[in-house]
Structure 1
Amino acid sequence: MAVTILIVCGDKTAITAYAGLFNKKEYSVFSAQSGRQALAQAKARRFDAIVVDVSGSRINCKNVCHRIKSETSAPMLAITAPNAKLDAALAFAAVVPKPVSGKKLAARVKAAIENKPPRLFKIGALALDLEKRKLTRGSKTFSLTPKEFVLLRFFVSKAGQIVTRKTLMKEIWETEYLGDTRTLDVHIRWLREKIEDKPSEPARLQTVRGQGYRFTI
């Protein structure tokens, strides 16, 4: 069965060049030239890997990557300019600096797929289905909204650390405006209703007064 790949790049010529690097007998390549197209593709089919060219400025990489990750657990690879620095929060499975050869890119894609974490991710007493966005706590299973899913994954990546409200608004909602954080309060409440045995007395997602929140596994 062919490996299914999505290439996200704002340059049509570059997409054609990248697609040509993959053996058509082994790979089935799809493409997207915008964040909207990439998200639609991620929702429409299951990909084994997603390759994003972050070297240009035609696509809001941070926004696109976060939104795609809320739809799929496929490993995401970045094609970058030489010596480029990436936001660690994007957690790419691999980084491929230009110039890109077919052999190098195919090898990185293959390795990322082979090293892909299991679909079911254990978080202490919780189990998170990365593909279906479902959370299991005891005998109960909950469906997570895309924003709840991204929020939980972010907290898990920062487990044990204090995460400020400012950081959450910037990383999850992509704004530094703190004049109205009611949407954050609502999502924290919704998330606690799903991950906590007693939401009114949270043990996993605790409020650190005057600082933010701490997620404990």
Structure 2
Amino acid sequence: MAKILLVEDEVSIRGFLKINLMRNDFEVIEAGTGEDGIKMALQDKPDVAVLDVMLPGIDGFQVCNELRAKYPDLGIIMLTAKGQDMDKIMGLEYGADDYIVKPFNPLEVVLRIKAILRRIENKNEDNRDKLINGPFIIDLYSQKITKNGQEIDLTPKEYLIMKTFIENPNKAFSRDELLNSVWGYNYFGDPKIIDVNIRRLRSKIEDDASSPSYIQTVWGIGYRWKE
């Protein structure tokens, strides 16, 4: 059951919306001020927030800005007054996903919420086959790695080393652990092959290979990925 945060200071509008949302099987948490809305979001972690622009205390834009900073994947809908086009523009600039003009049909609010939830679900589906760490994205399906959207040309072993690192950020790996993970337990070659591959990887992924930011040397042990 999706959880909806409803922040509206007019009790009649808030109650009417709450009833209609609950009829559509949404769990509703509500607040009458921007400050309380932020507290409720931190406490209950909703899936979608519906924010009135004109709130006592901090306004809906400030609430939107704070929630977007804390929860990048939160769906946010702004309720704006009729004819206030600047409210729509400001809401979108502050990170809102959508806006609805008052007066509105509660069915429209329900449909907009469902549309945002579908987008969130589709985004989550897309990310299930990906590992994301800072500017790096590993596409597990295609076995490609990008940095800031640019594909990095890696050998199969370099790819597996990167995958091992990003799946285990901040873990110090010994050379033997990396050998077993990437080359397998039956590998009996020179363990220095790890150092060779690390040097190649650094030349491909680091901004400055001589002063690596991501693949760090752990003296006496091996290497680790700094998250």
Q: If the length of structure 1 is used for normalisation, what is the TM-score?
A: 0.53
Q: Deviations over 1:93-133 (max 9, x none)?
A: 11111111121110000001111273569564269xxxxxx
Preserved contact between residue 3 and residue 48 of structure 2 (Cα < 8 Å): yes
Preserved contact between residue 46 and residue 74 of structure 2 (Cα < 8 Å): yes
Q: Distance in 2 between matches of 1:111 and 1:100?
A: 17
Question: Residue 18 of structure 1: CA displacement?
Answer: 1.8
Number of the residue aligned with 2:25: 26
Alpha-carbon spacing, 1:126–1:33, altered in 2? closer, same or farther (3 Å): farther
Alpha-carbon spacing, 1:115–1:100, altered in 2? closer, same or farther (3 Å): same
| Equivalent residue letter for 1:108 | R
Number of the residue aligned with 2:36: 37
Q: Distance in 2 between matches of 1:197 and 1:34?
A: 46
SS in 1 for 2:82: coil
Q: Quick check: which has more Rg, 1 or 2? A: 2
Q: Distance in 2 between matches of 1:33 and 1:41?
A: 11
Q: If the length of structure 2 is used for normalisation, what is the TM-score?
A: 0.51
Number of the residue aligned with 1:97: 101
Structure 2 regions of 5+ residues with no counterpart?
Answer: 139-164, 171-205, 214-227
| Equivalent residue letter for 2:136 | A
Q: Pairwise CA RMSD of aligned residues?
A: 3.5
- The question of 1:83 aligning with 2:86 is answered no
Question: Residue 24 of structure 1: CA displacement?
Answer: 3.1
Alpha-carbon spacing, 1:124–1:35, altered in 2? closer, same or farther (3 Å): same
Number of the residue aligned with 2:47: 48
Preserved contact between residue 42 and residue 71 of structure 1 (Cα < 8 Å): no
Task: Flag the structure with more relative contact order, 1 or 2, with Cα contacts below 8 A and sequence separation at least 6.
Answer: 1
Preserved contact between residue 22 and residue 28 of structure 2 (Cα < 8 Å): no
Number of the residue aligned with 2:136: 125
Preserved contact between residue 68 and residue 95 of structure 2 (Cα < 8 Å): no
Alpha-carbon spacing, 1:13–1:111, altered in 2? closer, same or farther (3 Å): same
Q: Distance in 2 between matches of 1:13 and 1:65?
A: 22
Q: How many pairs were matched up?
A: 140
The structure where helix makes up a greater share of residues is: 2
Q: Distance in 1 between matches of 2:32 and 2:62?
A: 14
